[in-house]
Structure 1
């Protein structure tokens, strides 16, 4: 009898769990929106969670199947989201009527993570607006100009280390690990005010902790998922998404640095200095956590993404020798103009073809497959003829399909072909507005896009002037098919052969 009761309790528990996991899966049917059938818990990301394909590919393929619908439903795990498949409607929601959709949806529950809750990308409403207005001057051309010398030190350390690896004038290299160390050192010096050489000291604490925090695999990925789907469970278990000693490390790093600079009247052209100055000029009462959080956002915005951009561009230059040659010729002209001087901000802005190449990499690779917004007040979406298309409710999540637009033949002819000429002065005006939005869109566009492009231009300048980029025996055949889960890196790695030009 006891055994039967236990079986019945188990069955009832499983039934209740199933009902909870699928409780939101009637949303689109009730709201009259087309959608694809989801799986329990994982929603429309089943193939991603099962490691059959990348999140990027899964989302882009979903867009292709449903792009004729201006609004289509997508289950982001248990959370329903409304995908907007019309660039004109994206403009309306993200720009014209921004006040109705001012916030991002947090990608995890940050209530118990004050350092993360204070990041600009997670802040909401007036608090976000105040911080955005305060930080915008930090990313002006003048500020970028002062940061480039700090980056140059890291670039030269990178090239020196690469030269040490050359045997017989060439070497094979897994780029992701190599350039992640570079972006780590750049973040350390430009955001946190410390000098680190992760090539000479590969096990340094800054790199190890930063990499573990930005790791979206294994146990860390599970904690992210649970925080998004069942935050109460993590709280019940006393588990935090990020280990306290890791976040405390960065708190001490920044706070101690600010204190030391104030006591010794030290000025350094980095993010901490700029934030200290912004704090003095701001009418807002900034806490230490607010400042550390803005430095910390670099790990999520730059640690992985900037390394991915460098790796992807190197891969495209390897695959397209004629394009690589044009980049090389432009860099040679810049080098002659510099006359043995290191790269400066003005000369990076003269690299027009390099910029075209980077823009095409950002378009084709679509590192962020989508960006999101949350509806803050009930909103009626209408077309140009004032015809009602859909009614959004407070709390609805909206997805803008960055990867879908950028890989759609309707907007980009032969979208899988790498063609920098799309972004030439003659052609870029033909691009349909709001179809190429790699850094996001509207007032919520990435504030550090100038920083990212300057960094990528500079390191590529040093790489291309010193080496030819060629296929390695370990280079994967189809890089996009080799991606899995939430990573942009192919399973086989970003292998390349660097051949010295001297």
Structure 2
């Protein structure tokens, strides 16, 4: 009899769990939207979790299958999202009627220190005030000043490559896995430009700052599991005592920034980095920002830039080795820029004047969007109407919106031969012909990426330095299809970004 009761209890428990886990699976049936049937807990993300594809490929394939619909249902784990495939509707949601969709969705359900104070997770007026506070930090004038700090890191990276070449003892060049190299560069650049630290990750490979960088670029293994649990079952996540980031890491960042601010204020130290700019912004702002709120902006800067900026350089170099004619033309422009400097170090203005460089990196961001999608949350009910006033859809407060950046950028209706790497799409003659709201590498509207200038100048400057010294060629280990070979939430091939560098 006891066994019967136990089995009955377990059966009821499983039934309750199934009903809870599938409670939202009819969301789009009830609202008349097309969708693909979700799986329990994982939604439409199974192939990512099974290690079969990257999030970029999942988003690209889903968009390709559903692009005939302006709106379509997508299940991000157990969360139903309304995917917007139409550029005009994207414009309405992100710009024209922004007040109805002012916030990003909360990817993390946690109260741990720093996370909810990061700009990307702030909401409504608090976000607006912090955005206004930070905007002066990322102006062209501030980037111009900050660029001087970067040159030393670029020089150390090039010295590391030279040492690799010397060790290979081959005049015909050497093989290199780029991601490791450029993650270290990204780490050193963030350390110096944001935190005022001299790290030298090539000379001290196991430095604490680099280890923390690897830990916060977290969509792998146990960290991916914690992220999924936080998104799908926040109560269990909390019950188990999990945290998104190790407490030691956040405490380290907090001490680092707060101590630096205190020391600079006491000793009147001025340095053109992010800590200094935040100190100045705090003084000029009418808001009384806490230390944690300011530290959180440094933290999201690290969190967003460490992996993405390295991947940006890698994907661009990958295309250059695939397209030697484009590489040659870019090298010639870099050489002309070097000659125009007349022995002076590279500077922000010289980088920004390289037109073909801008075309190349723009096409790289088009083909290999580092953020496969962006999102919004509906904050108040919104009626979507077409041009003649006919109701197209009723958005409800709390609806989560998915904007498939990479899907749009691989759509042959907007970018003919989308798998072809063609910088000419972004020439002065052609770029004005792009359909608005189909090219969104840094997001769109008031919620776009505030650090886009930083990412662009870092990638352009490193590619400039690399091409002046080396010709980039295929290695036997270079993947043939980057999209098919990448896995998980990062656009990184399983075997790495292998290249063959030949000294010029």
Aligned residue in 2 for 1:213:
216
Cα offset, 1:490, TM superposition:
0.6
Aligned residue in 2 for 1:270:
273
In the alignment, structure 1 segments of 5+ residues that lack a partner are none
CA distance in 2, matches of 1:329, 1:113: 50
Q: TM-score, normalised by structure 1?
A: 0.98
CA distance in 1, matches of 2:29, 2:458: 46
2:278 is the alignment partner of 1:279: no
2:321 is the alignment partner of 1:321: no
The SS at the match of 1:342 is coil
Aligned residue in 1 for 2:363:
360
Q: TM-score, normalised by structure 2?
A: 0.98
CA distance in 1, matches of 2:58, 2:378: 25
**1:5-404 aligned within 5 A:** 5-110=5-110, 112-166=111-165, 167=168, 168-169=170-171, 170-404=173-407
2:482 is the alignment partner of 1:479: yes
The answer as to whether partners of 1:214 and 1:299 remain within 8 angstroms in 2 is: no
The SS at the match of 2:114 is helix
2:410 is the alignment partner of 1:411: no
CA distance in 1, matches of 2:239, 2:483: 39
CA distance in 2, matches of 1:42, 1:252: 38
Cα offset, 1:6, TM superposition:
2.0
Deviations 1:97-124 (A, max 9, x none): 00000000021114x1230111111110
CA distance in 1, matches of 2:56, 2:14: 32
CA distance in 1, matches of 2:391, 2:369: 31
Q: Which moved more, 1:292-301 or 1:346-355?
A: 292-301
Cα offset, 1:53, TM superposition:
1.3
The SS at the match of 2:25 is coil
CA distance in 2, matches of 1:6, 1:87: 55
Cα offset, 1:397, TM superposition:
0.4
The answer as to whether partners of 1:54 and 1:486 remain within 8 angstroms in 2 is: yes
The answer as to whether partners of 1:82 and 1:399 remain within 8 angstroms in 2 is: yes
The answer as to whether partners of 1:108 and 1:225 remain within 8 angstroms in 2 is: no
Deviations 1:237-291 (A, max 9, x none): 2221111111100000001111111111100000000000000011000110111
Cα offset, 1:229, TM superposition:
1.1
Q: Which moved more, 1:184-193 or 1:162-171?
A: 162-171
CA distance in 1, matches of 2:100, 2:222: 36
The answer as to whether partners of 2:56 and 2:483 remain within 8 angstroms in 1 is: no
The answer as to whether partners of 2:74 and 2:82 remain within 8 angstroms in 1 is: yes
Number of aligned residue pairs: give it: 500
The answer as to whether partners of 2:182 and 2:314 remain within 8 angstroms in 1 is: yes
